Structure 1
Amino acid sequence: MQLIVRHLSVYHNGVAVLTNVSTYFETGEITMVIGPNGSGKSTLLKALAGLVKYEGEIILPDGYEAVDELTGYVFQNPETQIIGSTVFEDVIFGLENIGLAPTEIEKRANYVLELLELSNLRDSDPYYLSGGQKQRLAIASILALEPEFLLLDEVTAMLDKSGKREVLEAIVRLKNLNKGIVVATHELDLFSQIADRCIYIRDGRIVFDGQPADGIEMYKREMGAEFLYR
């Protein structure tokens, strides 16, 4: 399944943040989106999630009428998405809001908690989880809504080494379930371990779309000392 972007532009206070961006995303593929701060990485993900207004087209597969039916957005700070007083309540919040039957809610919640290795924490207070656990919970809560594409915005930036590993392993599991993963990140070497593809955005435009190793080499070369000491 493909999510296709054609001539996408996003403006903020009259200033272009993204300009004429055309690309696509596939289920069963991890795409890392890289670029300097302010380049438009997060804005691209937010457009794909229907969180910002845009010009151009986002072409959905047959059977979908809106991007928020197809995609799910996970923020950098998982605490901004925590709502429930327990892990289980946090996962079911969105499911209750869309009016699912209790049996379906229970089924979906149990499935994503097992998949993200959180079943043993279902009755725990989310705020006392580790950073990696909180981020996996944020992913689980979105995944329960059954999007085909997960949009992950700097989801490892606030985590320690152990938390980063937990989240990377979870992302690979989701890819193997044929989910499309789009992750905006500054952690190039970390995500190059699992990414199938790399999109490099500079000044709101795509300047590279291809193999991660080649995109990262181009980015590091262009950033030079700014990258090394950032």
Structure 2
Amino acid sequence: MVLKLKNISVSYLGKQILRDISTSFETGEIVMVIGANGSGKSTLLKVLAGLIEYDGEIVLPEGVSDVSEVTGYVFQNPETQIIGSTVWEDVIFGLENIGLKKDEMEKRAMHVLRLLELEELKDTDPYYLSGGQKQRLAIASILALQPEFLLLDEVTAMLDKNGKREVVDAVVKLKEEGKGIIVATHELNLFSAYADRCIYIDAGSIVFDGNPNDGIKLYREKIHRQFASKV
């Protein structure tokens, strides 16, 4: 499945956040979205999630009427998405809201819990989970809704080393399952070995879209120039 973005622009309170963004995303690939704070990374993910208005066009696959039907957004802080009193209840919550039959809900919930290695914790209060486990639960709850694309917004920023590794391992598994993963991140080394592409956004525009190592090098060179000019 492919999502094509054509000349996507977003403005807020008179300020342009995204400028004529044109690119595409495919299932089965991991795409890093990098750039400085305020560059437009999160805004791009929110456009893909159907959370904000935009100018331009998203070309959708046949049979899809809204981009939110095929995307799922995961926030930086997993606690903003976790609402169940147990891991199981949290995963089931979204499925109940879309009116699935009980047997289908249980089938989906067990699949994502096994996939993200949370099955043995299904009766646990999320409060007692580690940071990495909470983030995997947030991903599982979205994944149970069966989006084709996962939109991960700085999902490792609040985690320790072990938690980061747990999330990266989960992302690799989801790619193997055929999902498209779009991850906005400042942690360049964490995802670079696994990403298929890197999109570098600067001041709301795409300045690079291609090999992750080349994109990261370009980004670091700009940071170095900015630092040197202030010394």
TM-score bin (small chain): over 0.9
CA shift for structure 1 position 225 = 6.5
Q: In the alignment, residue 126 of structure 1 is paired with which amino acid?
A: P
- Matching of residue 78 in structure 1 with residue 88 in structure 2: no
Identity of aligned residues (%): 70
What is the CA-CA distance between 1:126 and the residue it aligns to? Answer: 0.6
1:114 and 2:114 are equivalent in the alignment = yes
- Alpha carbons 1:74, 1:153 under 8 Å: kept: yes
Q: Which amino acid aligns with 1:185?
A: T
Identify the residue that residue 191 of structure 1 maps to in structure 2.
Answer: 191
1:134 positional shift: 0.3
Residues 1-230 of structure 1: matches in 2 within 5 Å?
Answer: 1-224=1-224
> 1:60, 1:103 → 2: CA distance?
31
TM (norm. structure 2) is 0.97
Task: Mark the runs of 5 or more structure 1 residues left unpaired by the alignment.
Answer: none
Q: Verify the 8 A CA contact 1:200 1:215 in the aligned structure 2.
A: yes
After TM superposition, give the deviation of residue 128 of structure 1 in Å.
1.1
CA shift at 1:15, angstroms? 1.0
Contact 1:220 1:227 in 2 (8 A): no
Instruction: Return 5+ residue gaps in structure 2 as ranges.
Output: none
- Residues of 2 paired with 1:145 and 1:80: CA distance? 18
- Summarize deviations over 1:38-91 as a string: whole Å, max 9, x none: 000000000000011101011111121111110000000000001100000000
Does the 8 Å contact 1:72/1:151 carry over to 2?
yes
Q: CA deviation at 1:226?
A: 5.7
- Structure 1 runs (4+) greater than 6 angstroms displaced: none
Deviations 1:127-184 (A, max 9, x none): 1100000000000000000000000000111111100110000000000011000000
Cα distance between partner residues in 2 of 1:79 and 1:12: 27
- Count of paired positions: 228
